Amino acid sequence: MAFITINEAFICEVCGTENCPAQKTCRNHCKKCLSSKHVDEKFPGDRESQCLGTMKAIDIQVHPKHELVIIHECEKCGKKIKNKKADDDSQETILEIQKRKAESFFR
Ligand SMILES: [Zn+2]
Ligand SMILES: [Zn+2]
């Protein structure tokens, strides 16, 4: 599985973007579409899950320290995992997710 090895370059299975290793953090999601893969079971980085479903970013939360947290949901089993935003994550995609979320709220 090349998708989500800890902090190594990988090609996104969802959008095909080449992701190089992150500078300060462990990259576990695509910097372009923010998709991830369900590989962790109990805590981030344990690589215990047998699911391997695609995890789409469904929500963005702002934490008290003004950190952005991406909420990933597994398309296969529905598990939700929180991930810290990486420095070079696509601002465009983040805005899109926030917009989509706001629109569904008012519908
Ligand atoms: Zn991607
Ligand atoms: Zn899953």
Task: Locate the domains of the chain by residue range.
Answer: 10-106
pLDDT at 75: 97
pLDDT at 1: 41
Distances (CA, A) of 43 to 54, 80, 97: 17, 12, 24
pLDDT at 13: 92
pLDDT at 18: 93
Ligand 1 mean position, distance from CA 5 (Å): 15
CB 55 within 8 A of CB 81: yes
Low-confidence ranges of the chain (pLDDT < 70): 1-7, 23-26
107 CB-near residues (< 8 Å, 6+ apart): none
For the entire predicted model, the pTM comes to 0.82
Ligand 2 mean position, distance from CA 62 (Å): 24
Q: How far apart are CA 63 and CA 9, in angstroms?
A: 28
Residues measured by CB to lie within 5 Å of ligand 1, the ion = 12, 14-15, 17, 30, 32-33, 35
pLDDT at 24: 64
Distances (CA, A) of 27 to 4, 96, 104: 8, 21, 29
